[in-house]
Amino acid sequence: MSWVGLPERALDRRELHDLVDGVAASPELWKEHVGFPDAEDGRHYVSLYRDAYVDIWLLCWRPEDDTGWHDHDISSGAVRVVAGALRECNPRIGGEHLETVVSEGESFSFGPDHIHRLTGALESSVSIHAYSPPLWRLGQYSISATGVMRRTSVSYADELRPLDGEAGLASLDSEADEAHEPAENVA
C-alpha cells in the first residue's frame, strides 16, 4: 500500500474502511511513529497523510487517554485498531450510553452525524484513523445530568479531551431548565 493511487475525490464510509484496513496491513507506513509519551504529555498522534480529499492519522492510547464527546463536523471516518483495544462510547440522551470495545484487528466506520468518545481500553493501544473530507473542524460536546448536550467547535489541530467543567455545566443546565418551566396558573 502507498499513498499513490488514492482517488482524487471525497471517499465514502466503505472506502474509508478499506483504506484504514490497507494502511494497517502496511506497517512500513506507520510503525516508526508509534510512541507513548509521559502521562502529562497526553495522547500521541501523528498525521500520516493529508491531501484535499482525505487525511490519515496514527493514534497511540493509554487507558487514561480520553477524547471526550465529539463529532467530525462534515467528515466521515473509519478507525482500525492495530494493537491493543479502544473503548468507543456513543451517547444516549435519557438512557445509558452505548459502550463497545474495538479489539486489535477490528475496524469501524461512521458518517458525519456520528458522536462518540474514545479511550484506550488497554495499555499501549494503537489505531489508524482516516477522514474524508479531511478534518478541519470538530464538534466537542458536554452532556449535562439533565440530558442537555452542548457543542463547541474546535480545530482539528487541537487535542480532543473531555471538556473542563462538565459537572459545572450540569448546574447551569438545571438553572436554565427551571427558567424555562411553564409558570403556574395564577387564575
Point out the annotated binding site for Fe cation.
Answer: 70, 72, 116
Q: Which of 107, 103, 118 is nearest to 63 (CA)?
A: 118
Residue 75 to residue 59: CA distance in whole angstroms? 18
Could you tell me where the DSSP H helices lie in the chain? 13-24, 166-179
> What is the residue whose three cell numbers read 435519557?
94
Contacts of 90 (CB under 8 A, 6+ apart): 97, 98, 99, 100, 114, 115, 116
Binding residue numbers: 70, 72, 116
Q: Which of 127, 156, 126 is nearest to 140 (CA)?
A: 156
Amino acid making up residue 23: V
